[in-house]
Amino acid sequence: MQRSRREFVTTSLAGVAGLYAAGGITASQPPQLAPEDGYRLWLRFEPLGERGAAYRKLIQQVVVHGSSPTADVIRRELTAALDGLLGSPAPAAQTSVSAPAVVVGTPKDSTILRELRLDAELATLGPEGFIIRTARTGKHPIIAIASQADVGALYGTYHWLRLLQTAAPIDTLNIAERPKVQIRMLNHWDNMDGTIERGYAGRSLWQWKDLPGTIDPRYVDYARANASIGINATAINSVNANAIVFTPEYLAKVAALATMWRPYGLRVYLSANFASPIRIGGLKTADPLDPGVIAWWKAKADEIYKLIPDFGGFLVKANSEGQPGPKDYKRNHAEGANCLADAVAPHGGNVIWRAFIYDEDVDPDRAKRAYIEFTKLDGQFRPNVLVQVKNGAIDFMPREPFHPLFGALKQTPVLAEVQATQEYLGQGRHLVYLGTMWEEFLRADTYAKGKGSTVGKAIEGQVHPYRVTGFVSVLNPGLDRNWCGHHFSQSNWYASGRLAWNPELAARQIADEWTRMTFGNDPKTVDTIRDVMMQSREIFVNYTMPLGLHHLIGGNHYAPMPENAKAPRADWTATYYHQASTDGIGFDRTMKGNQAVGQYFPPVRDMFDSLATCPEEFLLWFHRCGWDYKTKSGETLWNALCTKYQNGARQAAEIEATWQSLAGRIDPQRHKEVADRLAIQVADAAKWRDQILQYFQGFSKRPILSK
Ligand code: GCW
């Protein structure tokens, strides 16, 4: 059962104001909040009460200039949102100003905005940037939201609505924004049969059998959510790609999505199976240097661009985890990427080549392999190839040091890939806000060009001047009503968009915004939820993989499995990583060990290399220590490990208790759904603690410290 998109933005009317209006509640009783299912994400636009009345004085008119489909979107969004926020029908969109107004558009389409002489400043902000400024036209005060292009005006509109949603003052505004990263992208791992790899929220959003004829209104809500946080690109099929997506039948379906999303500034990319010329093209080879293969990719690109003129390009996972790739033909990754890049180049497209590649013959340590392969190839890629690097060198662990490839490629643009889907972080069941994890990653200093060469700056192209920049989040929403399975997983979608826009934003600010937009502005609710979110990832690390431990899982990557020693490959086990024995535990990646630290620039290398300076959260990632090694707290390593697990399990229980204290302040449906999952989380945390400590005790032979 789908609701219409109109309902998505206006169900707010059935919220608090509706109940008051129904007359059943007097102001002295706490309001019974109407149940919410989470479908509206952070775009709820609930009535703002008194604050709304204050805003209303400044917003007596809505004036949107422009006649493009994007301008129509702005008009619809603004009216519906203000209807909800201000608690009564918003003023209808008009074309001239006769009262205090919000005026949106481009100087090209708007005389009022043209008169403000913003052109020079807007030019520095680019088509996606915008200005929000308090100004006047004639005798009326206005709030101007202006951009060079309609899409920038749309982003400005959502930014301004966010101010209202978060109850910020709007009397004197002077905001100028431009995205710090160009490609702000989602990767979906959706299979063509409707299943989702590492998806925890139901089946795929894309209804392949109904497309292109039937358009699920949910596709529009998806685009709205993305536009509201500045996401401008999406790769809709899994990187473990099925070539069928390139058949004419499916391309017509993809084109229908692309057409619908265009007004929202969202461009489609497709994951490409490297063997497509064989699988659907009838060729005998996919060798990237073969003239027939080259011609096949060119023709395929031409066909796609005829249907989707702004197609973003191809995303490729090659020679990784069984996927075909150029190495099958003794060609390297640059030769493979360039073949596809040449096909899309005439159309302005990109090839995004993933660096999640770990062939066993490159080095015995999985953590070292991608760096070795890709640093050799720097300078050999076409200008429209970008290399997409996961935040860490293993695989989205609860905590990893940043991948040494950040800052290391001078001539090849490097995109960051983070995972909002909580594959290794409690999946759809644990409350884990990842803004803090990504902040830690983005603020880490690579020292590629001396101090201050943070990962964030590298991604922005400020360390090495990249032609294109990008930030990618793997996000696997599904058909569950609340999109993400766990209500709090929505915050990771939100945070990935905000950080893609500006990698330097603070995780705390993002958590605050999201909480206000998702759960309202009640001060106790906001403080409590934001604080829970801010601690949640560290707590997860404490009860799963503290002190630099990693990959203590198996199977579906959810439950503890430190004993996992048998898998088709050694680097898919747990024992390969923790290496516990009666002597100690940890992976020696120091200069005296396997020298993985040598892949970092010298100050970072030395910091990780020395026990005295290695941050303890990475201790067992880089060092192998005896069970009685003295940690910074003075405890032995074994006792410190016990303490971490005990604390983590206790802290999970504390989150549950804190959540209970919000009963009555949050609508009953979302409160209960989160509470039910917290109960699972608390039980899981205790399981992690017990199983891991018992297992390692078999080696340490020391008593488990109980707290
Ligand atoms: O994290 C691992 C996942 C795989 C995934 C792979 C990748 C799409 O377990 O499911 O495959 O990484 O990133 O390619």
pLDDT tens across 415-433, in order? 999 999 999 999 999 999 9
Q: Looking at residue 463, what is its pLDDT? A: 98
Q: Rounded to whole angstroms, how far apart are CA atoms 370 and 37?
A: 42
Q: Looking at residue 91, what is its pLDDT? A: 64
Closest atom of ligand 1 relative to the 239 alpha carbon: 8
* Long-range own/partner contacts, residues 574-582 (CB < 8 A, 24 or more apart): 576/551, 577/394, 577/549, 577/550, 577/551, 577/552, 578/549, 578/550, 578/551, 578/552, 578/620, 579/624, 580/695, 580/696, 580/699, 581/699, 582/699, 582/700, 582/701
Amino acid identity at 681: Q
Q: Looking at residue 26, what is its pLDDT? A: 39
Ligand 1, atom 13, lies closest to the CA of 356
Burial label for 444, CB within 10 Å (0-12, 13-18, 19+), is buried
Q: Please choose from 356, 394, 403 the residue to mutate so as to test ligand 1's pocket, defined by most ligand atoms within 8 A of CB.
A: 356
* Residues contacting 682, CB < 8 A, separation 6+: 649, 652, 653, 656
Q: For residue 241, report the distance from its CA to the centre of ligand 1, in Å.
A: 12
Q: Please choose from 195, 388, 395 the residue to mutate so as to test ligand 1's pocket, defined by most ligand atoms within 8 A of CB.
A: 395
Parallel, antiparallel or unpaired: strands 584-585 and 625-626: antiparallel
Q: Give me 477's structure tokens.
A: 């929403």
Phi, psi of 300 (to 5 degrees): -65, -45
Q: Rounded to whole angstroms, how far apart are CA atoms 438 and 496?
A: 9
Q: For residue 324, report the distance from its CA to the centre of ligand 1, in Å.
A: 15
Amino acid identity at 7: E
Catalytic residue among 210, 249, 321, 628: 321
Stretch 577-588: mean pLDDT: 98
In 10 A of CB 662, how many CB atoms? 18
Upstream peptide bond of 668 is cis (omega within 30 degrees of 0): no
Closest atom of ligand 1 relative to the 198 alpha carbon: 10
Compute CA 600 distance to the chain's CA centroid, rounded to the nearest angstrom: 25
Q: Does residue 213 carry a pLDDT above 90?
A: yes
Q: For residue 514, report the distance from its CA to the centre of ligand 1, in Å.
A: 28
Q: For residue 357, report the distance from its CA to the centre of ligand 1, in Å.
A: 11
Ligand 1, atom 7, lies closest to the CA of 356
Q: What is the DSSP letter of 259?
A: H
Q: Quote the mean pLDDT of the chain.
A: 94
Q: Does residue 200 carry a pLDDT above 90?
A: yes
Which of 457, 532, 456, 443 is CA-nearest to residue 491? 532
Amino acid identity at 179: P
Stretch 45-52: mean pLDDT: 91
Q: Looking at residue 92, what is its pLDDT? A: 66
Q: For residue 276, report the distance from its CA to the centre of ligand 1, in Å.
A: 20
Q: Rounded to whole angstroms, how far apart are CA atoms 613 and 599?
A: 17
- pLDDT tens figures, 167-187: 999 999 999 999 999 999 999
Q: Please choose from 191, 415, 423 the residue to mutate so as to test ligand 1's pocket, defined by most ligand atoms within 8 A of CB.
A: 423
Compute CA 157 distance to the chain's CA centroid, rounded to the nearest angstrom: 21
Cα→Cα distances 87→17, 20, 50, 420, 478, Å: 7, 11, 10, 33, 31
Q: Looking at residue 24, what is its pLDDT? A: 35
Closest atom of ligand 1 relative to the 240 alpha carbon: 8
Q: Please choose from 188, 196, 321, 418 the residue to mutate so as to test ligand 1's pocket, defined by most ligand atoms within 8 A of CB.
A: 321
The owner of tokens 């099925």 is 242
Stretch 272-285: mean pLDDT: 98
Catalytic residue among 128, 365, 395, 400: 395
Confidence of residue 316 (pLDDT cuts 50, 70, 90): very high
Within 6 A (CB) of ligand 1 lie 189, 197-198, 238-240, 317, 321, 356, 395-396, 423
Q: Give me 435's structure tokens.
A: 């803004």
In 10 A of CB 369, how many CB atoms? 20
Closest atom of ligand 1 relative to the 474 alpha carbon: 13
Asked if 133 and 175 count as a contact pair (C-beta separation under 8 A), the reply is yes
Catalytic residue among 177, 190, 363, 423: 423
Stretch 467-493: mean pLDDT: 98
- pLDDT tens figures, 344-385: 999 999 999 999 999 999 999 999 999 999 999 999 999 999
Q: Looking at residue 94, what is its pLDDT? A: 76
pTM higher than the cut 0.85: yes
Q: Rounded to whole angstroms, how far apart are CA atoms 415 and 448?
A: 16
Closest atom of ligand 1 relative to the 197 alpha carbon: 10
DSSP, collapsed to helix, strand or coil, labels residue 638 as: helix
Q: Give me 244's structure tokens.
A: 């069928």
Q: For residue 637, report the distance from its CA to the centre of ligand 1, in Å.
A: 32
Higher pLDDT, 566 or 89: 566
- pLDDT tens figures, 505-560: 999 999 999 999 999 999 999 999 999 999 999 999 999 999 999 999 999 999 99
Q: Looking at residue 14, what is its pLDDT? A: 31
Q: Rounded to whole angstroms, how far apart are CA atoms 305 and 297?
A: 12
Ligand 1, atom 11, lies closest to the CA of 240
Asked if 344 and 268 count as a contact pair (C-beta separation under 8 A), the reply is no
Query: Does the active-site annotation cover 423?
Result: yes
Q: For residue 314, report the distance from its CA to the centre of ligand 1, in Å.
A: 18
Q: For residue 539, report the distance from its CA to the centre of ligand 1, in Å.
A: 24
DSSP, collapsed to helix, strand or coil, labels residue 670 as: helix
